[in-house]
Structure formats: C-alpha cells, structure tokens
Amino acid sequence: MKNLFLCCSFVVWVSCSKTADDNVEIDSTISTDVPAVYKKIYGASQITVEGAYVVIKVEGIPDHSSPYFDSTHALYSGYNGVNPDFNLNPNRINSFDFTYKIPLNPKESGNKSNTRLGAMGVSLNGVAIFNQYAGPNLPLTNEINSFDQFNGHPERTGVYHYHIEPLYLTQEKGKDALMGFLLDGFPVYGPEENGSRVTNSDLDAYHGHHHPTADFPEGIYHYHITDNDPYINGNQYFGTPGTVTQ
C-alpha cells in the first residue's frame, strides 16, 4: 500500500511493508530523489537525501526471531541454532531512533580512519553492523557463543547488532547479495561471489575490493563478509565515514 505526498517541494512515497512476522509493519517514508539501491534498506522508517548525504532512520530491531526479545514479543523464540556452546547473555533487545548519515557518492579517503565500537554501518533490515571487536581490541572469541540463531545479539543497552554474517539476510536475499552499507557509504556484500566463498585473501587491508556488482554495474568499491576475522571490515574505513546518532 503506497500513498503519494508533496512535502517541502519534493515528492515522497509512504509505504507499509511487512517484516518476517505478518503482524509487524514498518511505515517507510522515502523521498523520490533517493537512489534505488538505498531503497533496499527495507528496515528504514525514513530515507532522504540531504546535500551530499543519504540519511537513513531506523529503530534497529531485527525482523527475525531471537531469544533476546522479551518472552511476550511476537518474534520471541528460544535458541534453535547450531552452536552447542550457545550462552544467552543478560541483555534484551530495545528499539532506538538511529539516524545514519552516509556519503551519497563515497570516495576513497586519503586519510583512513578507524572503525568504531558501536554501529559502523546499517544492514538492510535496519540492524546495526558492528566491527570485529567485543570491546577495545578484544576479539570476539568468547562473545560469539552469545550470538543467536541468526548471528546477532544485543549489547548492554539493548542495541541488537551483527558482527559477522547476518544469517537471516543471507538466507532471504542470497549469499552474494547486498547486505547493507558502512558509514563511509560503501556497500557490504555477502560471503559469496560468482558462486564461490570469498576469503580474506581475496580482499584488501580494508576487507573489500573494486569491481561491478548487480547494484553498481559501473563498478564500486565494496566490502565482503567472510568467515574469519575481521568478518565485515578491516580496522579502518576505505572511505570517509559519515555519522550515526542514537
């Protein structure tokens, strides 16, 4: 269901989209000047263009089941993954008003900056993407055992996030599909390419490479998810990061 509005001299589309649970809907407002690829972020409540930036607003709640929802939530489910060492952490999922402001036309930075703890990007379903650390320079070795059946978990304030392959998205969209964007505006793709699993040796120091993709046929630098540290991104952004507020 879509409705057309005139707002501040430009047209916006307001649409209602179902999530994984048929009882959950997201009302999305997307301005018509937003490039089509960003409209794939179906977990956003609003996507607009402000000057040289795409502004993406999300609540950050996953659209798939998790044992980290309150037991009364429609998407609550006990752990049913494959990790025999799964250990539920004490945190529970909360919603937040995240605003991601990322470059509309990302470029390589001549002065690379470190990724941050906390959200370093946003996935298609609005869930935050975190880097490869459980804390300052702390590997995910033990924390991985708290990842739910879709490889996510909440931190102490309730921000649900992915450090590694978001299994729900790769199952629904495909292992080679667009998964989201990092704060520098460069896209993140799944763990496969041309039918083969991507490895760290296929990528540069920032965990990406440059060539055409289905979404960017003229070619673009992009990150890939892999099975090994750093999983999604190296220690630094390839481009100049925008901002995220919460």
pLDDT of residue 74: 97
Instruction: Tell me the average pLDDT across 141-151.
Output: 96
Instruction: Tell me the average pLDDT across 230-238.
Output: 96
Q: Is the pLDDT of residue 202 over 50?
A: yes
| Residue 118 · residue 130 · CB < 8 Å | yes
Q: Alpha helix locations (H) across 153-193?
A: 167-173
Burial class (CB in 10 A: 0-12, 13-18, 19+), 229: middle
Distance CA 112, CA 236 (A): 6
Instruction: Tell me the average pLDDT across 221-245.
Output: 97
With b for 16 or more beta-carbon neighbours within 10 A and e for fewer, the 86-107 pattern comes to beebebbbeebebebbbbbebe
pLDDT of residue 137: 86
- Global pTM? 0.89
pLDDT band (50, 70, 90) for residue 5: very low
Distance CA 237, CA 183 (A): 8
pLDDT in tens, 159-181: 999 999 999 999 999 999 999 99
Q: Is the pLDDT of residue 246 over 50?
A: yes
Instruction: Tell me the average pLDDT across 49-71.
Output: 97
Distance CA 245, CA 100 (A): 7
pLDDT of residue 133: 95
| Residue 179 · residue 193 · CB < 8 Å | no
pLDDT of residue 6: 35
pLDDT in tens, 101-136: 999 999 999 999 999 899 999 999 999 999 999 988
Q: Is the pLDDT of residue 18 over 60?
A: no
Instruction: Tell me the average pLDDT across 146-161.
Output: 98
